Amino acid sequence: MNELLSKLNNEQREAVEHINGPLLVLAGAGSGKTRVLTTRIAYMIGKKGIAPWNILAITFTNKAAKEMKDRVETLVGADANDMWVRTFHSACVRILRRDIERLGYDKNFNIIDSDDQKSLVKECLKELGFEEKQFPPKSVMSEISFAKDNLLTPIEYAQEYGVDFRKKELARLYALYQKKLKTANDLDFDDLIMLTVKLLHENEDVLEFYRNKFRYILVDEYQDTNKAQNELIILLAGQHRNLCVVGDDDQSIYKFRGADITNILDFEKAFPECRTIRLEQNYRSTQNILDAANNVIKNNYGRKGKKLWTDKGKGKNISVYKAQNEHDEASFIANTMSALSRDGYSYSDMAVLYRANASSRALEEVFMRKAIPYRVLSGLRFYDRKEIRDMIAYLRLIKNPDDDISLKRIINTPSRKIGKVTLDKIAAAAEREGTSLLRAIGSYKDGLGQNVADFYDLIITLQEFAKDNKISELVNEVYEKTGYRAFLETDEKAQERDENVNELINGAANYEEANEDASFEEYMDNLALISDIDNYDEDLQAAIFMTMHSAKGLEFPIVFICGFDEGIFPSMMSMASSEDLEEERRICYVAITRAREILYITCAKSRMLYGKTSGYKSSRFLDEIPQELMDITDNTPRVEESWVPKTSTFNPYEIPKSSLTSYSAPAPKPVSNKTFRAGECVVHKKFGRGIIISATPVGNDVHYEIAFESVGTKNLLGLYAKLEKA
């Protein structure tokens, strides 16, 4: 144990040895927080004699949980198997499997994914007579997720926001959505946390059981927790208060998912007796890279404050390339990668990070043309493919006969010639009996036709098969007996899709091998909780393209950050509030600190996005990096400062900025007397939503410089623009 501690720096060791009472570890990027967490657990078990089953360690990804458990097992041996090292969602699934019946659900619940959520929301919209144009399903899903992240039931949501007509209607949608979920004995991802908190709040004996079980709690990436997750942790730690949270307020970048940075900023208020330790020594990057990150992030006000340093030396300056357009930018990145590969680097050592997925188009075109191997992370996941989703729907229905969502997906896949009239009869019977569709079929199958009866018998047969056979054998049986294998043979992509299903069968066999006593139920939970980042293959010999959000938690010898343009990064909509702008700056900090040895930053004078070509200024974040840290190559044309690139479509109402000083408007009858200030959100009939960057009086009018979400920056006159407040 002393040998383990000797490998830590003073701050790391202090964090490891402080066991009792609340502890806040502010761990900067690359500061060895995983080593601290794993060594701390080993120290608790090996030195302090704490029982492994009294320890709960929470992470945000399956990959991080597995890495942590493997490291702990290396340090303490088989004792690691007696502790919970889990993601928030998998920990909650395990708690709910034990006691969810107290909330009126069956323990056999299924977990639905976003695609199934969308289908269910559409069903609710249709039932309530709402138009999808007024209530886009993704927007409804986002609002329901927001409510659950904030622990608001449909009734509480209506009470909180019901004065707004749209919110009142959303509350109705939320209520119906939740009713249908419960009828089907299904949970969505947000339910996993929300219902666990509800279970603990309403059942003192259950809360006491887990408080006594988890006397020592460790939470990684605490800056990414939302209100529900924070409430869960505070509930569990409320008695013994041996809570260690590790995180970096400067890397809080998931506000759009509900993450609440105040959880980490206010931790000392929730636990006044807590000790705070800062980990500032970085073991990943060179000092020039760290200095760039430090100088950018210091412009944020909402932070605890720390300064990264390293003993690895200054390293190379940051290379900045100012491109003419996105094609020039992509060619520079591709040519530079080719040169680096000739110098001994592998393409897998290199990553291209961008703010939005749309930025990958030009990159992919150039990389394909130059035959440079690349992979786009966050493309179509294996488990999102239709054939895999169909197979999983069969498995879910076999496991949970009340899962109407899965039944609707596969009752006619492959085709069984069960028509709409018959399906309506089944739905009416289920509604009348207050039961699920499959159970209704069981009650009335003799009157529903032979095809329906055969489908019912098939599912019952497969349920029986599942009781006495291996998971992989069940998946193969489903593939054969449902007729899905024969169905795929008629598909134009038959071979590829057959290979995918066989890979699902192989995956089930691998799961059995790695988890000898695993049940069908545990296998299905594992499928539901798999994320895209869990499948990232670091050994794949290809450059990786990904968003800056996807890159969090990863590191590369060489990083290219493209699209360093004002209006793209920071994004246009972030300019509406200081909070949003600070989050963009944290995203920049995360992107910069992914680089270990070499960092490239690129921007473009003009680029086409969303079908429009617009001019851009370099990002304000570039101005926040000291000049002495950068080597800048400017490939943009030499033009006057007042030059504004033409857009791809002529706009008679757009006034060139260079002519504003001499422009004298006639005295037309004003079409609008509305005026707006810099920072306000507005809507233009043609260009959509935007943020006003500047508002300058010109004669009897106002000139607005507006950063639009879809077309970039435009210069418009108020009398003609007909702007409305967003």
CA–CA separation, 503 and 422 (whole Å): 35
Task: Confirm if 576 and 679 have CB atoms less than 8 A apart.
Answer: yes
C-alpha–C-alpha distance, residues 364 and 358, integer Å: 11
Question: What residue has token string 């506000």?
Answer: 255
CA end-to-end span of the chain: 60
What does the alpha-carbon distance between residue 473 and residue 140 come to, in Å, rounded to a whole number?
39
Which listed residue (99, 220, 249, 584) is catalytic? 220
Given the residues 14, 17, 34, 67, the one annotated as active site: 34
Is residue 225 part of the annotated active site? The answer reads no
- Whole-number Å distance between alpha carbons of 89 and 528: 10
Using DSSP bridges, classify how beta strands 688-698 and 681-684 pair: parallel, antiparallel or unpaired: antiparallel
Q: Identify the active-site residue in 13, 33, 69, 399.
A: 33
Establish whether 251 is a catalytic residue.
Answer: yes
Non-local CB neighbours of 48 within 8 Å, separated by 6+ positions: 19
**Within its chain, how far is the Cα of 304 from the centroid?**
24
Residues ≥6 apart with Cβ < 8 Å to 499? none
* 641 neighbors 623 (Cβ within 8 angstroms): no
What's the rounded Cα separation, in Å, for the pair 548 and 621?
15
Q: Are 209 and 95 in contact (CB under 8 A)?
A: no
Measured CA distances, 639 to 321, 603, 622, 642 (Å)? 17, 17, 21, 8
Burial letters 551-561, b for 16+ CB under 10 A, else e:
bbbbebebbbb
- What is the C-alpha to C-alpha distance for residues 478 and 472, in angstroms, rounded to an integer? 10
Give the whole-angstrom CA distance, residue 172 versus residue 615: 44
Question: Which candidate in 11, 79, 143, 221 is catalytic?
Answer: 221
Report residue 523 as tokens: 């296998």
Classify residue 352 as left (phi > 0), alpha (psi -120 to 50) or beta: beta
How far apart, in whole angstroms, are the C-alpha atoms of residue 327 and residue 77? Answer: 53
Going through 626-687 in order, the beta strands assigned E by DSSP cover: 630-634, 681-684
Evaluate the omega torsion of the peptide bond into residue 414 and state whether it is cis, within 30 degrees of 0: yes
Pairwise CA distance, residues 652 & 587, whole Å: 37
- Residue 121 has which token pair? 């929301």
Q: Dihedrals φ, ψ of 576, to 5°?
A: -75, -25
Annotation says 34 is catalytic: yes
221 is catalytic: yes
Whether the CB-CB separation of 92 and 233 falls below 8 Å is answered with no
Which residues lie below 8 Å from residue 638, measured CB to CB, with a gap of 6+? none
User: Closest Cα partner for 240 from 22, 17, 18?
Assistant: 22
C-alpha span between 716 and 722 (Å, rounded): 10
| Set 251, 286, 482, 602: catalytic member | 251
DSSP string, 683-700: EETTTEEEEEEEEEEETT
Q: Could you write out the DSSP letters of every residue in 175-193?
A: HHHHHHHHHTTEE-HHHHH
CB 498 within 8 A of CB 490: no
The number of beta carbons lying within 10 Å of the beta carbon of residue 479 is 22
Is the CB of residue 482 less than 8 Å from the CB of residue 466? no
Secondary structure (DSSP) of 529-580: H--GGGG--TT-SSEEEEEHHHHTT--EEEEEE---BTBBTTBGGGGG-HHH
Give yes or no: 413 in active site.
no
220 is annotated as an active-site residue: yes
Compute the chain's Rg from CA coordinates. Answer: 28
Which residues are catalytically annotated? 33-34, 220-221, 251, 594
